[in-house]
Structure 1
Amino acid sequence: MSFIKIINLPIIAMLGLVQLTSAQEAFHNFGDIQIHDTGKIGFHTDLINDGVFNSNLGLAGFYGEDQLTVSGTSIAEFYNSEIDILDGLNLKTSMGVYNTLDFINGKVFTPRTDLDISLDFLQANYNGESDFEHVDGYAALFGDIDFTFPIGDEDKLRPLSISKPSSISTFKSAYFYEDPNSPTIFATLFDTNSFAPILSKVNDKEFWDLDGDQAVEVTLTWDLDSDIKNLTDDIELLRVVGWNNKTLRWDSLGRNDVSGDLEEGDITSISFVPDDYEVLTIASEPSGNDFTINTGFSPNGDGLNDHFEITGLDLSQENSIEVYDRWGELVYEKQNYDNTWGGISENSITVDKGIVVPVGTYYFILKLKDKVTNKVKTYRGWVYINY
């Protein structure tokens, strides 16, 4: 018979009906349970929560060798929790943690086909993540903190990090160690041969799903299995990319930072809204460019990074640039650009002419005529404007 271990019973308040049966092999809550600040409860059996179990302090742990399941009509939310189950914890309904989750042994599994079910970190943190201890499926953040999702696929931890959003928001993420050209659960095929001209090659080994409606910077990671050397031999040419369902191609989301080597490292994008892209991965830009595009600037008049700068324009015989907002409206254009645009709109469609455009991500098209070959090359990308 399965059993539940309860420690410090007097500081666990139980109201209503709780049932433990060998037939169900589950701890079934129909009522109202509360773990007080020094309370500890240990589950060695499945948890079915059809009552109230969300005003907890103390610790709730899940223990054993065989896989356990959390299910029911209501979400169980714990203050501290720990997972020590060799075969892992299977979530059939979401489970939340307010303070700290400790991965001791085993993974937390969520159904990748149901984004409504996730392991939820409610402004919480975690410890102990590894290739064998992580969330295999979707993890969620509800909060306004810098956060790294402890996600992976089978025995492979591949975290994704986001910067602090501007307000308390919900983000969900999962990692897929599979070819984006033939994903297992998405209806869309993310063609790695369809990408913006500014890119040269898109990773076909893996991708991430990230959902959220607030602009954030995103950091992706790679390891030896990512085969980054197949994209480039210079990690400075790597870019975060997102699949655009409107244009049906991979768009560059820039690079604010990159570190590591061809075998292991991480790359951080410019700020963007994750919901604008279905999935994310890593790509490369062509080598041999003699110019550098600044992917972000702040036209606030402080004399630092006040203009959209492209280093090396003098190497081109002539050039032209167009800048569009997220709705596709032209906000700036110039022949023979000279690095002087300070974010001022040149039309009155989405913002008054002569006014600095709002904070956000803008799309640019840059055309350069080579001095030697006289051929025109077109580059497309994104620039983030902040103050």
Structure 2
Amino acid sequence: MEKVNLNLRLLKIDKRKGCFLLLSIFSLLNLSAQTALYNSGNLRIHEEAQLGFHTNLINDAAFDENLGLAGFYGNPTLSISGAFAPIFNDLEIANEGGVQLNTSLNVLNNTNFIIGDFISSKNNAQTHFNFLQDAFYVGDSDLSKIDGYALLTNQQNFTFPVGDASFVRPLSINSESPNLLVKCAYFFENPNNPSAFPGFNTDLKPRSIETISTLEFWRLEGSIPSTVTLSWNSRSSIGGFANDINEVTVVGWNKIANRWLSIGNTLTTGDLDNGLVSSEVFLPNDYEIITLGSLAVPEEILMLDNYLLTPNNDGINDVLVIEELELSPNNTIQIYDRNGLKVFELNNYTDEFNGFSNIDNLVINREQGLPRGVYFYLINMIDLGLNYQGFLVIER
């Protein structure tokens, strides 16, 4: 690729002529090789000026005092590369081949999607299209969108115009406060074996989730509690795992539980071919990826038994196993003796109680384990909104 080092300052380019300035220069140079505009520090778009790119941009210096409009036009794929991420005021794309981002791109004001995608590698989340604090966009469609990572800076509510080469698959986020940074990308891939991440086994799920999509997912990074709205289209094949849109829910791979959990479906609209589903409030950074799933038919009555514990290391009833807690990884358990003394307490219980107290109180002979007898338990399934109580017998 041949670099064209203009090393110039653009002063109030006339709207009718500004878009043709670069083309005129390239034409005069009579270049036969593929060309690129190389910015080494003197390039600026002034207020009301327009700059049209019909060639690649190599940006190796600050390009951040722009007030006019920059556009990427033509048919062949263009690229943006270099050591510095350019900052445009207004931006538009009307290039069928799209613009490949090899370095990030920032926009202060409006982006006009006409035709063509802004494309970046989904294996590299550090290269992205960044909507700055007051940025917005118009015109996103299947023909023009962000095929890669989109970044949002200092905004509270936003719809990411993300997708893949074929479809725009937006994700809307509504946060409890402005996000310092929140990042999103869409993947038309099976979450069991994605290209950019380790696999997320869709069989690792609670019984409250019937099915998890194996066709697509979104990656969302953010540190503010938020709700999201996901879309689906005919390619999502919702009818393959849901009979009714009210069964559709947002699910995510939880980093702590290391399994899929339901994030809720507070609102669903549309039909099985096209629709939207909104989640409950969650923290995006708690989840590796999110996607669409379906809810299992709820059990009519969920009952917890009285339990027998015989902690003698024979492999039978040595620990307290409550299978129903698979439905509610976000839970608490408290165990009391017959005198009302708390002897055990744990959040997110998964078979840890083996007859020993974990409470700093007046338990006698603590190192020998709790004495045989009848105990009383309280369980709160937080994510299901259910509370249970019952008895536990320890035999030694």
TM-score surpassing 0.5? Answer: yes
Deviations 1:233-291 (A, max 9, x none): 1221221111123333111111221111111101111111111111000111112555x
Aligned-partner Cα distance in 2 for 1:168–1:243:
22
Could you say which residue in structure 2 is the equivalent of 1:185? 196
One of 182, 188, 211 as aligned partner of 2:221: 211
Could you say which residue in structure 1 is the equivalent of 2:128? 118
Preserved contact between residue 319 and residue 366 of structure 1 (Cα < 8 Å): no
Larger radius of gyration: 2
Aligned-partner Cα distance in 2 for 1:161–1:184:
24
Could you say which residue in structure 1 is the equivalent of 2:84? 74
Distance 1:62 1:4, change over 3 A: farther
**1:34: Cα distance to partner?**
2.8
Distance 1:4 1:109, change over 3 A: farther
One of 240, 244, 248 as aligned partner of 1:230: 240
The answer to whether the aligner puts 1:200 opposite 2:221 as a matched pair is no
One of 118, 129, 132 as aligned partner of 2:140: 129
SS in 1 for 2:297: coil
Could you say which residue in structure 2 is the equivalent of 1:162? 173
Preserved contact between residue 224 and residue 264 of structure 1 (Cα < 8 Å): yes
Could you say which residue in structure 2 is the equivalent of 1:39? 49
Higher helix share: 2
Q: Which amino acid aligns with 1:226?
A: S
Q: Which amino acid aligns with 1:149?
A: F
Q: CA RMSD in A?
A: 3.6
Runs of at least 5 residues in structure 2 that lack an aligned partner in the other structure: 14-21, 307-321, 336-344, 348-381, 390-396
SS in 1 for 2:43: strand
SS in 1 for 2:89: strand
Deviations 1:69-94 (A, max 9, x none): 10111110111000111111000000
Could you say which residue in structure 1 is the equivalent of 2:155? 144
**1:317: Cα distance to partner?**
6.7
Aligned-partner Cα distance in 2 for 1:27–1:258:
48
**1:182: Cα distance to partner?**
1.5
Aligned-partner Cα distance in 2 for 1:234–1:157:
24
Preserved contact between residue 207 and residue 296 of structure 2 (Cα < 8 Å): no
Identity between Structure 1 and Structure 2 (%): 37
Query: What aligned pairs does 1:310-349 form with structure 2 within 5 A after superposition?
Result: 330=332
Could you say which residue in structure 2 is the equivalent of 1:220? 230
Preserved contact between residue 3 and residue 45 of structure 1 (Cα < 8 Å): no
Could you say which residue in structure 1 is the equivalent of 2:109? 99
Could you say which residue in structure 2 is the equivalent of 1:249? 259
SS in 2 for 1:10: coil
**1:36: Cα distance to partner?**
2.1
Aligned-partner Cα distance in 1 for 2:12–2:177:
38
| TM-score under structure 2 length normalisation | 0.70
Runs of at least 5 residues in structure 1 that lack an aligned partner in the other structure: 13-17, 291-314, 335-346, 350-361, 370-387
Preserved contact between residue 51 and residue 74 of structure 1 (Cα < 8 Å): yes
Could you say which residue in structure 1 is the equivalent of 2:11? 10
Could you say which residue in structure 1 is the equivalent of 2:61? 51
Preserved contact between residue 119 and residue 140 of structure 1 (Cα < 8 Å): yes
Could you say which residue in structure 2 is the equivalent of 1:15? none
SS in 2 for 1:229: helix
